[in-house]
Chains A and B, each alone.
Chain A
Amino acid sequence: MNKPLLALALTFGFGALVSVQAQQAPAINDAQIAHIAYTAGAIDVTAAKQALQKSSNAEVRAFAEGMARDHAAVNEQALALVKKLGVTPQDNATSQSLADGAAAEQKRLAALSGSEYDKAYAANEVAFHKAVNAALSDTLIPAAQNAELKSLLETGLKLFQSHQMHAEHLAQSLN
């Protein structure tokens, strides 16, 4: 596994598992890339839904609504694309470590409340989007073979970069 994917996995606390796999990981294919991108989007929708259940801060709620809306839209587009291309998204070590890490993070956030939760959610959104952006720009986009998949990932990168900036503004305003 290359550095950005490793960093992405490390961000979510599964570095040990992933670095073992890194030594034998073959070059990543489009079916795996699609799975990773979809998983990343689904993780953020789940995090947003948790925020909408837990937070009463108007700014946090508006941010979470935007995350849920945008990531659901990208994932819908991604599903339509893989169907059109006849590709079945392929589960892989990066997707698994992302999902496991996100589940742990969700559990950690569930134990918090009030402004403590809001700050932790915003900080996690900054870290998550930063890690996904590095993986997209350094690994997933260069490795994508299909032009339409590459184009969707490029739009996804611009979207995620915008989300990162938005999350940074949110985190600052909560401090």
Chain B
Amino acid sequence: MIALQHAMSRTLILLAAMLALAVGSLPASASDRASTPTTTPTQRVHVVVIDKMEFGPMPTDVRAGDIIEWDNRDIFEHSATARDGSFDIDLKPASKVRSVATAGTAAFFCKYHPTMTATLVVR
């Protein structure tokens, strides 16, 4: 019985230690989450519509870590390809793709249709 209690208290200490470690690493894990395209309460989703061979109006007030949802409504395959090579997102016909915004001004184009160009500003 005593041995069991001892074992339980040891387990509790271990749990507490693990919890403390987890809390201590929270800022790091939060930033990890921001790099995957799933929303967290602080992230906002901005939609960019691609239709009739054009990138629609660019969203304003985009912050780093926000989600960009690329909504390709065309019957054609497109891409959102950064001129500086920082991203190259393939957009299949009639599909939606999500990516995470990174800070900066990104000029991009469709690599299949070079007349399609736009610039996204992320704070």
Contact = CB atoms under 8 A, between A and B. Distances in A.
B39 to A, nearest CB: 32
A45 B113 CA distance: 17
A161 B115 contact: yes
B75 A162 contact: no
Contacts of A66: 112
Interface residues of A, number: 17
A73 interface: yes
A158 B114 contact: no
Chain B interface category by residue count: 10 to 19
Interface in A46-97: 66, 69-70, 73-74, 76-77
B22 to A, nearest CB: 48
A159 interface: yes
Given A73-B93, A155-B53, A165 B76 contact: no
Interface of A: 66, 69-70, 73-74, 76-77, 154-155, 158-159, 161-163, 165-166, 169
Given A76-B75, A158-B52, 19 more contacts: A69-B76, A69-B77, A70-B77, A70-B112, A74-B75, A77-B75, A158-B53, A158-B115, A159-B76, A161-B115, A162-B53, A162-B110, A162-B112, A163-B113, A165-B114, A165-B115, A166-B113, A166-B114, A169-B114
